[in-house]
Amino acid sequence: MKRKELWLAIVLLMMGGVCFNSCKSERKECVCCDCATKDSSQFTTLTDAVPDAILEIRYFSTYNFVGQRIDGYEEPTALMTKQAADSLRAVSDDVKNLGYRLKIYDAYRPQKGVDHFVRWAADLTDAKMKQYFYPDLDKSVLFDQEYIMAKSGHTRGSTVDLTLFDMATEKELDMGGTFDWFGPESHPDFCGNPDTGEYTGDNHKSPVGRSITAEQFANRMILRAAMLRHGFKPLDTEWWHFTLKDEPFPDTYFNFPVKQIK
């Protein structure tokens, strides 16, 4: 069996509800739907903690790389652990002083939503959103290049996908690329050094010669710097993705639905 076929077989077996180890209380990293915890007591509705946040929950809509509403997204809201939401409130207060507001694309993501992504990626016939999110890639490489994975930090509840909204222009700040773009153009080090904030213009990683401007790179760095100042860590493949460094559930994958927490 080829490596890709073996990987898909393992993923589909996991999604069928079969655990290779028993789901005892000490086993923390269970990702199948039947075993992931449904306890939302340590979570909060994000806008309760960060009332200035603007929500554009892409996975509740059809404008996402799948092209339909994702399983587990029952309301167009965002949830996070209480610790992560408190830290994001500090980020919000910070960027408001710079003339921006936070715009949230996704936060907590239930395991059933991740499973939906996996099923979609395994169906190579469904490429209706390719031109918008992965025009430079064949869908068959999404597993191998880890754009789609069976586990996600979002499911642990302390990860957020976001951008900045410019209050002066009343538009999103131009980051030189869309949320959930599959390609090196989304990497924080694309055309620059995120550690120093230096723009280099180096776009050799782009398979078709795409680039971003110095201003677009600088805008990405404004968001990055604010998130890092308040306890979040970045991901090296997505400029919009950040996880609380001291996340309270580093090994727990939740599966309750995305809807308002009363």
Token couple for 21:
């180890």
Three-point CA angle 94, 98, 100, nearest 5°: 85
Q: Estimate the crossing angle of helix 82-96 against helix 214-229, to 10 degrees.
A: 130
The residue annotated as part of the active site, out of 29, 172, 238, 247, is: 238
Q: How far apart are CA 181 and CA 238, in angstroms?
A: 9
Q: How far apart are CA 101 and CA 173, in angstroms?
A: 10
Q: How far apart are CA 51 and CA 92, in angstroms?
A: 9
Q: How far apart are CA 62 and CA 154, in angstroms?
A: 19
Q: How far apart are CA 260 and CA 226, in angstroms?
A: 27
Q: How far apart are CA 204 and CA 194, in angstroms?
A: 16
The one-letter amino acid code at 120 reads W
Judge whether 170 counts as a catalytic residue: no
Token couple for 53:
């946040």
Q: Give catalytic residues, as residue numbers.
A: 238
